[in-house]
Amino acid sequence: MPDSCFADRVGDLIALTPGEKAALAALGERERRLRRNAVLLSENDRLTELFVLKQGMMMSYVLLDDGRRQILRFMFPGDFLATAALAYGTSPETLMALTDSIVCPFDRSVMAGLFDHHPRLAAAITALEQMERVAMTDRLAAIGRTSAKARVAGLLLELRHRLRAAGNSLAKGAAPASFSPGITQEEIGDATGLTAVHVNRMLRQLEDDGLLARDGGRFTVLDDARLARTANYVDRYAGLDFGWLPQPR
């Protein structure tokens, strides 16, 4: 059976049967390679396929009327892309590769068969989408109601947890102290509603406060608890409850 990063991600949450693993692996039978900064989908493009991100890092964003960019999500191996295809005929967002990436496309009609023959998988996928929705809600609330320093700190903690999850260690052991988020200060700003200059100032403040250390693009968390308090951060990978999922067939 071929490896499947999506099966790995779902398998970190629930114990998969061989049939469920095979169904998820089938989603990755085709591959499409993207160079860094390549656009997979643009806003208003016709949607006929969904994708699983197999390798690399991507982001989704929308362009505002004044030309500014609002980043909505950062995506890692095992993430579903273009899930709006389940409800809409055109894309509400642009999907772009932040690094050289590999995506696995499949027709959205494949999801109907997955829901029909593997209802537990359908429920788990729905739960994963809810985790993404809650994380986006947290960031939306932060943009509207918290300080610039809290927004930057919160995004860095979110990225650290997502990188940890993409390494197939979800909910296993402590999060690493050092990590490379893989994004620029401009991209941090576009995700938090700040300019790159303001982001740099907030990073310096976090360093001065003894919460972070920087070495190029690598960050080291010096005081996890204080950084989380500064960010008003809630670890959404803690306290997950999948006990309601149906039993495998």
Predicted confidence (pLDDT) per residue in 120-166, tens digit: 888 888 888 888 889 889 988 989 889 999 999 999 999 998 887 76
pLDDT at 239: 78
Q: Are 80 and 125 in contact (CB under 8 A)?
A: yes
Q: Give, to the nearest 10 degrees, the angle between helix 148-166 and helix 119-145.
A: 160
Other C-beta atoms lying within 10 Å of the C-beta of residue 207: 14
For range 7-36, the mean pLDDT: 89
Q: Which two tokens stand for residue 214?
A: 């920087």
H/E element holding 59?
strand 58-63
- At 185, the pLDDT band (50, 70, 90 cuts) reads very high
Q: Give, to the nearest 10 degrees, the angle between helix 148-166 and helix 185-192.
A: 110
CA 78 to CA 54: how far, in whole Å? Answer: 6
pLDDT at 173: 44
Is 213 or 11 the better-scoring residue by pLDDT? 213
What pTM did the predictor assign?
0.88
Q: Give, to the nearest 10 degrees, the angle between helix 196-208 and helix 148-166.
A: 80
- At 187, the pLDDT band (50, 70, 90 cuts) reads very high
For range 167-192, the mean pLDDT: 75
Q: Are 220 and 100 in contact (CB under 8 A)?
A: no
Other C-beta atoms lying within 10 Å of the C-beta of residue 217: 12
